[in-house]
Structure 1
Amino acid sequence: MGSHSSRRMSDDDSRSSDNDSDSTDLHYAEIIQRLINRYRNGHLSAYTEEYEDTYSGCRVPKIKYTPCVAKLNESDFYFDTSLASGLVSSTRKPIGNNITTMLLNRERSMCSYDRFSRPNKTKISNWFLPNHMEKLDKHDGKVFCGTFSREGNYFITASQDQQIRIYKSDRGVYKLLKTIHARDVGWSIIDVAFSLNQEHFVYSTWSTALHLCSVDGDPEKQIPLCLVNTSRRFCIFSVAFSSDGREILGGANDGFLYIYDTQRNQRSLQIQAHDYDINSVAFADDSSHIIYSGGDDGLLKVWDRRMLGEERNANPVGVLAGHRDGITYVHPRGDSRYLISNSKDQSIKLWDVRVFSSQSAAQNTLRAVYEQTWDYRWQGVPAKLYSKEKLEGDTSIMTYRGHVVTRTLIRCRFSPVETTGQRYIYTGCGVGRLLIYDALTGKVVRELRKHSACVRDVSWHPYNNEILTSSWDKTIGHWYYSCNESDDKERQSAKISASEEKKQNPDVLRRSLRIALKRLRSEDSNSENLE
């Protein structure tokens, strides 16, 4: 509190301060008037680069360092992903660097290595990543989540307007199949998940019960699955189905993991997993034996379902530490070895679950999280969170930076196996962007802006090269690749016109007010020296 408290001034201090403030106000009033005059005369542009990336107090980070890929290049992840995405060939036969070469090789040769294998197809697909958006739908409230079913036949969304919408997806065409009014909604529908057989889905709200529904059945038939009996405020922030559809996993705001057995129609597990809210849970693979959880304590924990009983004080198999703030989302690669986590420390980290963190590393993370004093729901991101320095004991093999995690629990995911070879990691953003990272380099390969508010959830179709984004601007965005020449011509025309304007009028200022003031003071100083 000492840094925020104001000292009591004497009468002399008050008088001198008043005189100084009066002269300062006159000085700035004169500068502002000069700026206004220059703007009216066309010497100062109303457009400023410093604020173009600003939304509700958040700025897009300027990452000025090259991502460190030393550990990544030595990992199995690097080789497996390079092989699956067509960057290298298992036959040691060079793969063409353009479609024409690949087509010619395929037509000229009958050898198996010249035919279009899956890596060949993913390599071609990766040349045409989504770059254009059309609005799929507009809701009456903020869209909190949207995800495809396992086979991509359905897409489901949940919004703050208390409506769940299921779309039938067929070759890039989306048709609204049904709208379901959610029950017992305290503030919003928080999460929704499909069963792997696409027959059921479950949703969570600020309620002590989940609700189970049929995809094709009666929308009024919603089965409540009670998890706790409490009068205090309770919410499951993240839900996931086991591969057989029998169990539903949930992470709650009380720090407990819950599992509900749908066949026995009762809760089968409740364990204290984290000190604070559990924001994300996931099964590592289709075996449903390994469970991941990430919470506001900044830790990722790995659990073995076969070792968890009814005791409330179970221990995890291992802990992954390295984040400096709470974790917002966890997404497994599906091979029970690698996963990614999104965090309020403005980073995505890639982890190998075969390399756990030490107890001291976990304590470093807990200490770093405890020292955070900002509120990500409404405050701007502290500059110190963009530091490239790692916490001592950080066992992650790669860190990705460039997106903004504010307002809500923003999600990130691996791109699909079928179309990309899981070469990319993509995420929403607090300033309305969709970002696609190259998982092998850490660089942003797509920075897509069409939404006017936070993009909370992102979902890549498992077999089509398209992404759907769920945004707080109340819209669902449908992203796909477009080679529209008019867009390219428009961009090129804008670049040429900006260049010509700069040549004709070099005094035009296209930076911030701070830089404009600095330049004017410099001009004043130069003129005084000349006099």
Structure 2
Amino acid sequence: MSQRAKGKRVCKEETSDTHSHGVRGYGRNSGDLDHEIAQLTKLRSEPNEHLRKATVGGLKMPVSTLRMLAARESNYSGRGRFSLSDSCHVLSRCLPIYGPQKVDKMQSRAYVSQFSVDGSLFVAGYQGSHIRIYNVDKGWKVQKDILAKSLRWTITDTSLSPDQRYLVYSSMSPLVHIVNIESAATESLANVTEIHDGLDFSCGNNDDNGNISIFSVKFSTDGRELVAASGDGAIYVYDLAANKVGLQIPAHEVDVNTVCFADESGHVIYSGSDDNLCKVWDRRCLSTTGQAAGVLTGHLEGITFIDSRGDGRYLISNGKDQSTKLWDIRKMTSNSPAFHRRRDFDWDYRWTDYPEEDRNLKHPHDQSVATYKGHSVLYTLIRCYFSPAYSTGQKYIYTGSGDCVVYIYDLVSGNQVARLEHHNEPVRDCSWHPFYPLMVTSSWDGVIAKWEFPGDRKEKSLSRPRRRSRRTMFY
């Protein structure tokens, strides 16, 4: 890691000289962009127009934090305070790239990272049955240490309820377990010290149980439902009040690796599968059509993760073709255009690097808005996200990587603005605090590490351990 990344105070502009990778659909100069999402991002993360036009001594002020503060004190905005976009502009320049500091170290692979909605709690799920909930506001003290029940291979996903009272966790099994995390006991041993209720996603069909492996599970915004992605090609919506599966959608012909709600309404669901497709499902018309509302085509390999921007319109996906793609669902089609790529050999992302001859291939019917490359989607279902709306205006996307690094890209320009290097095994998941310039990364080396923008504080960096072999890796 460079000296700059070990402790000097560096803002986003100072990391913009990092090697950038081409972004399909966007030019390198953001001034050339006219796509709607570029304008929306600009509105959410750039200073107030009055501040940008403010002058001192007849000279136009550059957009810097110091000048913005001076303009605010002079009330050039006419509001006497920063707008939300002003705040985003300041905060988004302070990327969480310093450290790291070790939060925890376990003897098994870390698969899941997740901040609660208010950022007060952090959840980490490990392959060795442990799920730990850390109280961020109390010095990252372990508030709950959960030993998972009926684990098959690993914890594949966790989700906190919106009221932060319950946690669900999934495995490669049709049972998703739910735990009350408000109880007084720190140790939560399944059905010994506490009850871990099992939510059965098999719909009572025992013949299919062997194919139902839950890879992704999410609470709805109102906390009444769970949506899950399964290895049997289906999406399941579980009604918690009725304690049963309320909806089963035969969504894909192969594994559904990822699923999420498009927005707070819960009507629209996004799914991503090993069939290389992202699909959009509108529950309001499923009963009459039984079909997806639309299909998004562009990835050349399977989808490992999807994250919604939360506006019911835009989403990003990580693909095993070593790219992240940005989508606008208004570009979706009713079905996927026929495209058959011939390969003389079987390639499995869990074992070998992506074939060199395929790296520059493009899908002839690519409907994505933009493509981001540079990270590695290998060995496991690597996750990607939009940066927080409150602090960055969702100006960035960030992703774990099979090469043990976390990558941060500028959403609009596609420039790689930061690389977080510490881990010596793949980083499957990472989570940006909803309000502060703080990120936590979880890796197969068992380390949970936090990265910050500490200002003038000097943080003690962790030494980077020697890289080990990664040849025995699965989901």
Q: Under a length normalisation based on structure 1, what TM-score does the superposition of the two structures give?
A: 0.74
Distance 1:483 1:372 in 2: 51
SS of the residue corresponding to residue 38 of structure 2 reads: helix
Residue in 2 aligned with 1:138? Answer: 105
Residue in 2 aligned with 1:69? Answer: 26
Residue deviations 1:331-377 (CA, integer Å, cap 9, x gap): 00000010000000010000001111364x5422xx24988731111
Task: Give the deviation of 1:308 after TM superposition.
Answer: 3.1
Change beyond 3 A, Cα 1:415–1:371: farther
**Contact 1:325/1:372 (<8 A) preserved:** no
Residue in 1 aligned with 2:338? Answer: 363
Could you list the structure 1 runs, at least 4 aligned residues long, displaced by more than 6 angstroms after superposition. 369-372, 484-487
* Equivalent residue letter for 2:311: D
* Equivalent residue letter for 2:215: F
* Equivalent residue letter for 2:291: N
Distance 2:103 2:218 in 1: 25
RCO (CA 8 Å, sep 6+): is it higher in 1 or 2? 2
Distance 2:387 2:167 in 1: 22
Residue in 2 aligned with 1:384? Answer: 357
**Contact 2:21/2:415 (<8 A) preserved:** no
From 251, 255, 260, the equivalent of 1:282 is 260
- Give matches, 1:403-414, under 5 Å: 403-414=375-386
Distance 2:24 2:141 in 1: 41
* Equivalent residue letter for 1:206: M
Residue in 2 aligned with 1:212? Answer: 178
**Contact 1:324/1:369 (<8 A) preserved:** no
Mean Cα deviation higher: 94-103 or 314-323 = 94-103
From 320, 327, 330, the equivalent of 1:354 is 330
- Give matches, 1:114-153, under 5 Å: 115-132=81-98, 133-153=100-120
Distance 1:372 1:273 in 2: 28
- Give matches, 1:282-301, under 5 Å: 282-301=260-279
Tell which structure's C-alpha radius of gyration is larger: 1
Residue in 1 aligned with 2:214? Answer: 236
Residue in 2 aligned with 1:438? Answer: 410
Change beyond 3 A, Cα 1:88–1:353: farther
* Equivalent residue letter for 1:363: A
2:226 aligned with 1:251 = no
**Contact 1:159/1:188 (<8 A) preserved:** yes
From 53, 57, 66, the equivalent of 1:100 is 66
Task: Give the deviation of 1:273 after TM superposition.
Answer: 0.5
SS of the residue corresponding to residue 39 of structure 2 reads: helix
Distance 1:419 1:371 in 2: 47
2:246 aligned with 1:268 = yes
Change beyond 3 A, Cα 1:177–1:261: same
Unaligned 5+ residue runs, structure 1?
1-61, 488-531
SS of the residue corresponding to residue 331 of structure 2 reads: coil
Residue in 2 aligned with 1:339? Answer: 315
2:199 aligned with 1:225 = yes
Distance 2:436 2:90 in 1: 13
2:446 aligned with 1:470 = no
Aligned residues: percent identity? 40
Residue deviations 1:374-398 (CA, integer Å, cap 9, x gap): 11111012123431x5312211111
Distance 1:324 1:369 in 2: 11
Change beyond 3 A, Cα 1:277–1:100: same
Residue in 2 aligned with 1:375? Answer: 348
* Equivalent residue letter for 1:397: V
2:372 aligned with 1:400 = yes
**Contact 1:428/1:455 (<8 A) preserved:** yes
Unaligned 5+ residue runs, structure 2?
1-18, 55-60, 189-193, 460-475
SS of the residue corresponding to residue 123 of structure 1 reads: helix
Distance 1:64 1:166 in 2: 36
Change beyond 3 A, Cα 1:283–1:66: closer
SS of the residue corresponding to residue 119 of structure 1 reads: helix
Residue in 2 aligned with 1:52? Answer: none
Change beyond 3 A, Cα 1:273–1:64: closer
> Between Structure 1 and Structure 2, how many residues are aligned?
419
Distance 2:88 2:405 in 1: 25
From 298, 302, 306, the equivalent of 1:322 is 298
* Equivalent residue letter for 1:226: D
